[in-house]
Amino acid sequence: MGAYLMHTDPAVFVEPFSFIPERWLGEIDPHMNRNFVPFTKGSRNCLGINLAYAEMYIALGILLRPGGPNMQIFETDESDVAQAVDFLMPVPKLDSRGTRVMLL
């Protein structure tokens, strides 16, 4: 089973397409931790997991720091990020230009 299907299973993650960060606070259902696999698990897990986390921390630190750039979504709607096809991994519509952000 792919990570996309595991992360969008309503039996494990209530309202999987809603932004609810509070679901990870307090008493956590053990099924949620077992089924949250952004880098897969076991012998086939991502070799670059530590590098990926380091890059995410640096990028978020630069973008969200006090006095950092202001950002606004530019010519992007939900169809540009929603899964439309599956080529062994979820892909948005084929003519999508991706998520575009304008730095102000």
| 16-20, 24-28, 58-62, 98-102: segment of lowest average pLDDT | 24-28
Phi-psi region of 74 (alpha: psi -120 to 50; beta: other; left: phi over 0): beta
Binding residues: 46
Domain residue spans of the chain = 69-104
Binding residues for heme: 46
- Is the Cβ–Cβ distance between 63 and 97 less than 8 Å? no
The model carries a pTM of 0.61
3 pLDDT above the threshold of 70: yes
- CA-nearest of 39, 45, 7 to 23 is 7
Structure tokens at 17: 């397409």
Over range 41-53, report the average pLDDT: 87
**pLDDT tens-digit profile of 53-100?**
999 999 999 989 998 889 999 999 988 888 888 777 778 888 898 889
Q: Which of 37-41, 43-47, 69-73 has the highest mean predicted lDDT (pLDDT)?
A: 69-73
